[in-house]
Amino acid sequence: MATMTSLNRGKIILKEYETVGAEASNVPGSHSGCDDSWHAWFDEFKRRFTVSFVKLTADEAEFDLIGIDAPIANAFRRILIAEVPSMAIEKVHIHNNTTILQDEVLAHRLGLIPLKANPLMFEYKGASEDAGKPEDTLQFELKVKCKVDPSAPGDATNPSEKYVNSNVYSGSIKFCPYATQEGIYTDDQVGPVHQDILIAKLRPGHELDLKLHAVKGIGRDHAKFSPVATAFYRLLPEVTLTRTVCGEPAERLQSCFSPGVIKLEMDQSSGEKVARVGDARYDNCSRNVYRHDDLKDAVVLSKVKDHFIFSIESAGAQRPEVLFAEAAKVLLRKCEVFINALDEASNKAKE
């Protein structure tokens, strides 16, 4: 007979004052009373593992990772944030800065502007090289000077009407290709992702004259190299009704959950509204239902341990599905290094 442990090993149960089953994984040996082996677990993993995209745009992706444990999902998240490369402004050569922004603050703000440049097209810049090369560096310039607009109305009070270049935006950053980069890259291909990022506010007499060098890097070295605006996951919620709820209690039950989780259907025989589970995917697991004594026993709230809803928002250089594929490649290389190290250690032990 199946034990309660074996029945609930794949679920996290959300009770009124506690969470049950969150402490163990699905790896064989983590649940007492369950008869399983590594071979059976691996066969089940191969059968169940799935990647299914639910939403995909140029900048955002939401997909399901099914059949893995939390450490693997978290590895993807951390790699996306810290180890998938991107291009960012690293060196700022300031020829003139008469704005109120200090040089260090200005350089920091420029470094955080996301660029469209595809990092796969470039090499990592050597640490000892001061001047970049076409293979590892992109050059930009930012030249802006603020002055009074002679055509502005005499009673104008808005700086954008009174002055020319009162605001400096990322769209003012211009690509300056090396000789061998001519015709290969353009402003539209390697310039800022967004043209309306505010860099500084100027007034007449203020001027910026900068040379910018962008290089390839990873978020582990600096957050400006992270290719994602955000990458996170959550477990798939499940809502199970244990009994029929109809009438006014059904309406209260619906109000306890996020929109669409509980639907109300008209029962033809009784003429009352009956609660049905709609789409539990977007439930926020608030447990508001436990505030109602007459509804506590009508619902079982749980989460599926090996079903992760993963969300990626790209910073703009690469599409989110490409970023996830690159993260998988990084994880594969790490596994290969680890396996080689184990093989070496095993061979030495045999000698």
- Please tell me whether residues 59 and 92 are part of one structural domain: no
Last residue of a domain, one of 204, 226, 248: 226
- Please tell me whether residues 255 and 189 are part of one structural domain: no
Q: What is the pTM of this model?
A: 0.86
Question: Is residue 323 included in any domain, yes or no?
Answer: no
* Residues in the chain, total: 351
Last residue of a domain, one of 226, 259, 277: 226
pLDDT in tens, 221-239: 999 999 999 999 999 999 9
- Please tell me whether residues 201 and 71 are part of one structural domain: no
Phi, then psi, of 231 in degrees rounded to 5: -150, 120
- Please tell me whether residues 63 and 105 are part of one structural domain: no
Question: Is residue 338 included in any domain, yes or no?
Answer: no
Distance CA(191)–CA(176), nearest Å, equals: 10
Domain at 241, CATH number: 3.30.1360.10
- Domain coverage including residue 56: 4-82+231-311
- Please tell me whether residues 72 and 99 are part of one structural domain: no
pLDDT in tens, 8-20: 578 889 998 998 8
Question: Is residue 350 included in any domain, yes or no?
Answer: no
Long-range contacts of 104-112 (CB under 8 A, 24+ apart): 106/199, 106/200, 106/208, 106/210, 109/199, 109/200, 110/142, 110/173, 110/199, 110/210, 110/212, 111/222, 111/224, 112/88, 112/223, 112/224
- Please tell me whether residues 72 and 139 are part of one structural domain: no
Domain at 153, CATH number: 2.170.120.12
- Please tell me whether residues 94 and 216 are part of one structural domain: yes
Query: Per residue of the chain (351 residues), what is the pLDDT tens digit?
Result: 344 444 457 888 999 899 888 876 666 666 666 656 777 778 888 888 999 999 999 999 999 999 988 899 999 999 999 999 999 999 999 999 999 999 999 999 999 999 999 999 999 988 766 678 889 999 999 999 999 999 888 888 888 889 999 999 999 999 999 888 988 998 899 999 999 999 999 999 999 999 999 999 999 999 999 999 999 999 999 999 999 999 999 999 999 999 999 999 998 888 889 999 999 998 998 999 999 999 999 999 999 999 999 999 999 999 999 999 999 999 999 999 999 999 999 998 887
Question: Is residue 170 included in any domain, yes or no?
Answer: yes
Residue of 71, 155, 85 whose CA lies nearest to 117 = 85
Question: Is residue 337 included in any domain, yes or no?
Answer: no
- Please tell me whether residues 250 and 161 are part of one structural domain: no
Structural domains in the chain (count): 2
Please give the structure tokens belonging to residue 313. Answer: 């928002």
Distance CA(68)–CA(302), nearest Å, equals: 18
Please give the structure tokens belonging to residue 275. Answer: 């609660």
Last residue of a domain, one of 176, 195, 226: 226
- Please tell me whether residues 236 and 221 are part of one structural domain: no
Q: Residues 198-215, buried b or exposed e (16+ Cβ, 10 A)?
A: ebbebbeebbbebebbbb
